Structure 1
Amino acid sequence: MNIKIEATLREKGKKSDLNNYRRKGFIPAVIYGEGKVGINILLNKIDFMKNYKKSIGEVAFFDFDLSGKKISTFIKEKQVHPVSRDFVHIDFMELHKGTTITLEVPLHYKGIAEGTKEGGALEILHHTLEISCLPKDIPDEIEIDVTNLKIGDSIHFREIELSEGVTSSMTEATTLVAVRAPKKEEVVEEVEAIEGATTEGEATEGEAETSEPDAAE
């Protein structure tokens, strides 16, 4: 997915300057290129977030037109406010046709796991995968079929076949998805509750009987 983004050039500023931009409704950002000095820009927060939300769950490229120069990028890193979760800074990386890039692509889990029909729960441990490849080889997503998974089964990274030209540094033994056994619930039978109540009642009566002689004296 390619998304056109409007941006304004800005001077490299101090922390106070960046906070001032944020208060005015902008997100400070930088576009980095191979062996180039970063380009400092401002993004309209409302407009950018509208476009960003369209890209969630997909591989997205953000296209800028800065002073007549068109630049195609992807998000390399984003900083998020710890409380509001708003974006406070974004690093974009420029795409170059012959240069390998590293980015995250979504993992799409296909099918209904057999184990879930027996009461098991499908647990997805990874929703994305970090890969490295040339821009022309970037997959839209990586599909994983979970249909044959029974309770106790799992799929590891080593079982995933990546397309030609695509690599990943993920450890081969990493579990991507698994079907867990249903949790056992402790059931207290009504009979046990009744027996417990009877025992308590008998003890109370015994105490009452032993107290009668004292009362007579």
Structure 2
Amino acid sequence: MAVTLKAAKREDLTKSVTKQIRTNGDVPSVVYGKDKESKAISVNSIELVKTVRDEGRNAIISLAIENEKPVNVMLHDYQTEPLKDEVIHADFYIVNMDVEMDVSVSLSLEGEPAGVKDGGVLQQPLYEVQVRAKPANIPDVITVDVAELGVGDTLTVGDLPKADSYEVIDEEETTLATVVPPDTVEDTEEAPDDGAEPELVDASKEEEQ
């Protein structure tokens, strides 16, 4: 069931009015979709952040625009003000619940790999995967158990369990996680002699330059 988010229409798009909307605690936004006319709206900032935090980035939102029938949307993009870390604009995309779409879904690794217990280091080069699914079937997160990964083992997209409700569309050879051996040989070779002060020497050289 989609979570409801109320929205107001924006008729006046001047900068002064847009600024006042933000001052009032709302976020100037746009809602659009395939073969749909885009509309300027505003939503409550607190409600928007709460919705995304509680429901997830790919949540289906029932956008209730004043005096109109609610439409199912997803938060397509948003902009923030870096200094205040506040949302200053949002884009909502109208979705067709019967049509598949491609989205990014977070990847979470679960468990401590056997290789890490043996001294290896777990590396995760990819934190999101591309998923194709109908809007209602998009997972909030894909969790993978990596407890059995040993030193030198690699987990790829092709190793992910197949799901009936969605498809991961990244290349099967794409690395998701790997356990690499500790680089003890190079660490020993690069270790400075006792009494050496390479950092101070480097600092001196930089000052002379």
TM-score range, shorter chain: 0.7 to 0.9
Call closer, same or farther: CA 1:104–1:16 in 2, change over 3 Å.
farther
Call closer, same or farther: CA 1:177–1:32 in 2, change over 3 Å.
same
Normalised to the residue count of structure 2, the TM-score between the two structures is: 0.75
**Partner SS for 1:149:** coil
Shift of 1:113: 0.8
CA contact (8 A) 1:76 1:103 kept: no
Deviations 1:76-121 (A, max 9, x none): 1222334443222211122212222222223232322111112223
Whole-angstrom distance in 2 between the partners of 1:15 and 1:168: 42
Whole-angstrom distance in 2 between the partners of 1:10 and 1:22: 12
Call closer, same or farther: CA 1:188–1:160 in 2, change over 3 Å.
same
Moved over 6 A (4+): none
Whole-angstrom distance in 2 between the partners of 1:180 and 1:16: 55
CA contact (8 A) 1:12 1:40 kept: no
**Partner SS for 1:96:** coil
Q: Counterpart of 1:126?
A: 126
**Count of residue pairs brought into register by the alignment:** 191
Q: Letter of the aligned partner of 1:46 in structure 2?
A: I
**Partner SS for 2:70:** strand
Percentage identity across aligned positions? 25
Call closer, same or farther: CA 1:129–1:85 in 2, change over 3 Å.
farther
Larger Rg: 1
Whole-angstrom distance in 1 between the partners of 2:44 and 2:160: 39
Q: Counterpart of 1:172?
A: 172
Q: Letter of the aligned partner of 2:121 in structure 1?
A: A
Structure 1 residues 94-113: aligned runs within 5 Å: 94-113=94-113
CA contact (8 A) 2:124 2:176 kept: yes
Normalised to the residue count of structure 1, the TM-score between the two structures is: 0.72
Q: Counterpart of 1:181?
A: 181
Shift of 1:46: 2.2
Shift of 1:32: 1.7
Whole-angstrom distance in 2 between the partners of 1:83 and 1:175: 35
Whole-angstrom distance in 2 between the partners of 1:48 and 1:168: 28
Whole-angstrom distance in 1 between the partners of 2:53 and 2:180: 32
Q: Counterpart of 2:205?
A: none
Structure 1 residues 132-211: aligned runs within 5 Å: 132-164=132-164, 166-182=166-182, 184=184, 192-193=194-195
Whole-angstrom distance in 2 between the partners of 1:50 and 1:165: 27
Shift of 1:31: 1.7
Deviates more, 1:11-20 or 1:75-84: 11-20
Deviates more, 1:100-109 or 1:180-189: 180-189
Q: Structure 2: state its 5+ residue gaps.
A: 197-209
CA contact (8 A) 2:60 2:135 kept: no
Whole-angstrom distance in 2 between the partners of 1:180 and 1:83: 38
**Partner SS for 1:4:** strand
